[in-house]
Structure 1
Amino acid sequence: MGKYIFSRLINMIPTLFIVAIIVFLITRMIPGDPASVMLGPQASREDVEALTEALGLNEPIHIQFLQYIGNLLQGDFGVSLSYNQPITDLIINRFPNTVVLAVSALIIAFMIGVPAGIISASKQNSLIDYSITTISLIGVSMPIFWLGVMLVLYFSVNLGWFPATGMGSMDDGFISYLKHLILPSITLATIPTATFARITRSSMLEVITQDYIKTARSKGISEFIVISKHAFKNAFNPLLTVLGLQISSLLGGAVLTETIFSWPGMGLLIMDAIEKRDFVVVQSTVLFIALIFVMVNLVVDILYKVVNPKISYSTNKGGTK
C-alpha cells in the first residue's frame, strides 16, 4: 500500500505539469489585453504599455511560462491583477465556500440517489423502476444553468421562499444561512443524484441475482435485511468509485451554479477572473482544482482497498491484479 501511494504521488507530478501547460496557454489566448482591461478604456497607450511591461506580458511566452513554473515550485501562486492580493489568500477565503456547497449537494445526492437506485433494482421492471429510471435519465440530461434559473424564478421570485442570490452569514442565524444554501445545493445535486441512482441500480441488479442472495432468501430472512445488509454491502464498491468522481466533479463543476446564485466560491472567482482578464487567478485556481481532483481520486483508491481488502495494488502497473 505504501509503495502504491508513493507511486501515485509521483505520477501526480506529470499530470499537474500538463495541466499547468494547458491552462497557461489557454489563458494567453483569452481575447483582450489584461493591462487595457485593468486600466479602463480611458487609459493612454503609454500607460497600457508600462503596465504590460510591469506585468511581464511583453516577455516571450516561453520566458513567461518558465517564470510561472518557477514561482509554482516555490509555492507562489502569484498576485491577482484585479483583486491586488495574493491568490493563496483568495483560495483560502473562497475554497471553503465551495466545499460547503459541494458537500451539501453530495449529501442530498447520496441520500436521494442511493435509496432510489436500491428501490428501482428491488422492483425491477415495475412501474416504480421505470419511473425512477426515467427521472434519472432526465436528471443526467438536465442543463444546470436552466434548472438554476427555473428554481430562482419559481421559489425566489414567485413564492419568495428562498433568497435568489448570495451565501448569507451565520451571524444572521443558521436558518437564514440554510435558506441561502438550499437552492444552489439542489441545483448542483441534480446530476449526481441521477448518477447515484443509475449506478446503484446497476450494481444491485448484478448482486441480487447471485446464489448467496437466493440462499439468504430461502432461509426466510426478511427482504429488507437481504437487500440492506447482504446485497448493498457488496454493491457498494462500484458506488465508492463513482462517489470519488462526483466529489471531484462537484468541486470543479460548481462554476455555473455559483455564477447563477452569486455564491462566493471558487467557481464565481474563476468567472470573475475570466471577465476581468485576470489570467493569473484563472491559471492558479484551475491548477488548484486539478490538484484537489487527483488527491480525491487517490483517497478513493485507498478507501476502495480498505472496503475490499481482496484488491491488490500493483505499483508497476498502477492498477489492480
Structure 2
Amino acid sequence: MRTFLLKRSLQLIPTLFVVAVIVFFITRMLPGNPAAVMLGPQASAEDIAAYAERLGLNDPIYQQFFDYLINLVKFDFGNSLSYNQPIVNLIMERFPNTVILAVSALLIAIIVGVPAGILAAKKQNTIIDYLVTTLSLVGVSMPIFWLGVMLVLAFSVNLGWLPSTGMGSLDNGLWAFIRHLILPSLALATIPTAQFARVIRSSMLETLSNDYIKAARSKGLKETFVIYKHALKNALTPLLTVIGLQFSNLLGGAVLTETIFSWPGMGLLIVNAIDKRDFVVVQGSVIFIAIIYVVINLIVDVLYKVVNPKVNLDGGSGGAN
C-alpha cells in the first residue's frame, strides 16, 4: 500500500503539469484584451496599454508561463483581474456550493440508480429490465443543457412549484434552501443515475451466475436473502470506482448546470471569468478542480483495496496477494 501511495502521489505531478500547460495556453488564446474588457469601451488606448503593462500582459509568453508555474509551485493562484481579490478566496467561497450540488446529485443517483439496476438484474429479460435499460440509455444520452431548460419550463415557468435560479439561503429556512436545490440536482444526477443502473445491473448479473449463488439457492434460501446478502456485496465493488469517478465528474463538470440555474459554484465562476476575460480565475479554478479530481481518484483506489483485499495495488494490477 505504501508503494502504491508513493507511486500515485508522484504521478500527480506530471498530470497536473499537463493540465497547467493546457489551461495556460488555452486561456491565452481567448479572443479579446482582458485590459480592454475590464476598463470598458470608454477607456483610451493609452489607458488600456498602461493597464495591460501593469497586469504583465505585455511580457513575453515564455516569461508569463514561467511566472505562472512558479506561482503554482508556491500554491499561489494569483489575484483575480475582475474581482480584485485573491483567487483562493473566490474558490473557498464558491467550491462549497459546488460540493453541495454534487453531493445532492450523487445521493439522488445512488438512491435511484442502484435499486433500479438491482431490479433490472432480478427481472432479467422482462419488461422491467427492458424499461430500466432503455431509460438508462436515454439518461446517458440526454444533453444536460436541454434537460435543465425543460425542468425550468415544466416546474418553474408552467407549474410554478420550484424556483428556477439562484441558491436559497438557510436563513430563510431549510425548505427554501432545498427548493432551490431540487432542479439543478435532478439535472446533474441524470447521467450518474443511468451509469449506476447500468453498472450495478451488469455486475449483479455476473455475480448471480457464480457457483456460490447457485449453491445458496440450492440450500433453499429465500431469493431476497440471496440477492441482498450474498450477491449485492460482491456486485457493489465495481460500483465503488464508478461512484468515485462520477463524483469527480460532478465536481468538475457542473458548468452547464450551474450556468442554467445560476447556481453560485465553481462552474458559474469559470463561465463568468471567461466572459470577463479573467484568465487568471480560469487558470486557478481549473487547476484546483484538477487537484480535487486526482485526489478523489486516489482515495477511490485505496477504498477499492479496502473493499476488495485481493486487488494488488502495489503491483499495478489486480490479483491475489
TM-score w.r.t. length of structure 2: 0.98
2:308 alignment counterpart: 308
Mapping for residues 6-21 of structure 1, pairs under 5 Å: 6-21=6-21
Q: How many residues align?
A: 319
Q: 1:181-213 CA distances to partner (integer Å, 9 max, x unpaired)? A: 000000000000000000111111111011111
Distance 1:132 1:185 in 2: 21
Following superposition, the deviation at residue 314 of structure 1 comes to: 2.5
In the alignment, residue 2 of structure 2 is paired with which amino acid?
G
Residue identity over aligned pairs, in percent, reads 68
2:31 alignment counterpart: 31
Deviating beyond 3 angstroms after TM superposition, the runs of 4 or more aligned structure 1 residues are 318-321
Contact 1:121 1:205 in 2 (8 A): yes
Following superposition, the deviation at residue 230 of structure 1 comes to: 0.7
Following superposition, the deviation at residue 159 of structure 1 comes to: 0.8
In the alignment, residue 223 of structure 1 is paired with which amino acid?
E
Distance 1:225 1:13 in 2: 47
Q: 1:26-66 CA distances to partner (integer Å, 9 max, x unpaired)? A: 00001111001001111100001001100101011110000
Following superposition, the deviation at residue 319 of structure 1 comes to: 3.9
In the alignment, residue 155 of structure 1 is paired with which amino acid?
F
Contact 2:106 2:247 in 1 (8 A): yes
- Structure 2 residue 185 is matched with structure 1 residue 182: no
Distance 1:28 1:204 in 2: 48
1:69 alignment counterpart: 69
Distance 1:176 1:271 in 2: 26
Distance 2:100 2:224 in 1: 33
In the alignment, residue 235 of structure 2 is paired with which amino acid?
A
Distance 2:175 2:238 in 1: 36
Distance 1:225 1:270 in 2: 49
1:94 alignment counterpart: 94
1:212 alignment counterpart: 212
Distance 2:313 2:72 in 1: 31
Contact 1:314 1:320 in 2 (8 A): no
1:118 alignment counterpart: 118
Contact 2:310 2:318 in 1 (8 A): no
1:290 alignment counterpart: 290
Distance 2:135 2:245 in 1: 21
Following superposition, the deviation at residue 320 of structure 1 comes to: 3.6
In the alignment, residue 97 of structure 1 is paired with which amino acid?
N
- Structure 2 residue 169 is matched with structure 1 residue 169: yes
Distance 1:313 1:108 in 2: 31
2:137 alignment counterpart: 137
1:260 alignment counterpart: 260
Aligned to 1:314, the other structure's residue is in SS state coil
Mapping for residues 48-87 of structure 1, pairs under 5 Å: 48-87=48-87
In the alignment, residue 205 of structure 1 is paired with which amino acid?
L
In the alignment, residue 124 of structure 1 is paired with which amino acid?
Q
Distance 1:148 1:49 in 2: 42
Contact 1:248 1:292 in 2 (8 A): yes
Distance 2:122 2:255 in 1: 36
Distance 2:105 2:116 in 1: 16
In the alignment, residue 85 of structure 1 is paired with which amino acid?
Q
Give the aligned CA root-mean-square deviation in angstroms: 0.8
Distance 1:177 1:225 in 2: 39
Following superposition, the deviation at residue 218 of structure 1 comes to: 1.1
Aligned to 1:165, the other structure's residue is in SS state coil
2:233 alignment counterpart: 233
Aligned to 1:41, the other structure's residue is in SS state coil
In the alignment, residue 94 of structure 1 is paired with which amino acid?
R
TM-score w.r.t. length of structure 1: 0.98
In the alignment, residue 89 of structure 1 is paired with which amino acid?
N
Aligned to 2:311, the other structure's residue is in SS state coil
Aligned to 1:57, the other structure's residue is in SS state coil
Following superposition, the deviation at residue 79 of structure 1 comes to: 0.3
Following superposition, the deviation at residue 73 of structure 1 comes to: 1.2
Aligned to 1:309, the other structure's residue is in SS state coil
1:156 alignment counterpart: 156
Contact 2:200 2:239 in 1 (8 A): yes
